[in-house]
């Protein structure tokens, strides 16, 4: 019975670690996407910092990535940038890889 309990606790710990890692990767990815979009919009350093935080906050509106994509795409279009949803989605995927790479190199 002890082996079963140990295995169960190990699985729970792994699940918690995986969830934490996924959350950290998504938050870092969103910050990187915000930085990319801020660069396209020509924001100052202070505005870029605030915008990165706003993109991270946007991810808490609903499950999935649609809220982040909608925010960034809408802001880029409002700023006069000719960018489409496919470009934002591609950049989101690229930034996810970069975020994971950064987090893995830190640990």
Q: At what angle do helices 2-41 and 45-58 cross, to 10 degrees?
A: 140
- For domain 2-106, the CATH superfamily is Domain of unknown function DUF1476 (1.10.790.20)
Residue with tokens 């930034």: 95
Rg of the chain, C-alpha, whole Å = 17
Burial (0-12, 13-18, 19+ Cβ within 10 Å), 1? exposed
Is the distance from CB of 28 to CB of 103 less than 8 angstroms? yes
pLDDT of residue 106: 86
pLDDT of residue 18: 72
CA distance linking residue 33 with residue 68, whole number of Å: 9
pLDDT of residue 87: 97
CA distance linking residue 22 with residue 29, whole number of Å: 10
Residue segments in the chain with a per-residue pLDDT below the cut of 70? 1, 4
pLDDT of residue 61: 84
Q: Return the domain boundaries, the chain.
A: 2-106
pLDDT of residue 1: 59
pLDDT of residue 43: 95
């Amino acid at each position: 019975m002890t082996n079963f309990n140990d295995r169960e606790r190990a699985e729970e710990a792994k699940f918690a670690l995986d969830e934490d890692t996924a959350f950290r990767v998504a938050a870092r990815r969103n910050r990187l996407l915000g930085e990319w979009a801020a660069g396209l919009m020509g924001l100052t350093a202070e505005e870029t910092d605030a915008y990165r935080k706003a993109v991270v906050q946007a991810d808490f509106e609903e499950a999935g990535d649609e809220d982040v994509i909608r925010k960034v795409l809408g802001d880029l279009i409002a700023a006069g940038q000719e960018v489409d949803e496919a470009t934002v989605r591609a950049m989101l995927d690229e930034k996810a890889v970069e975020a994971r790479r950064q987090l893995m190199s830190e640990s």
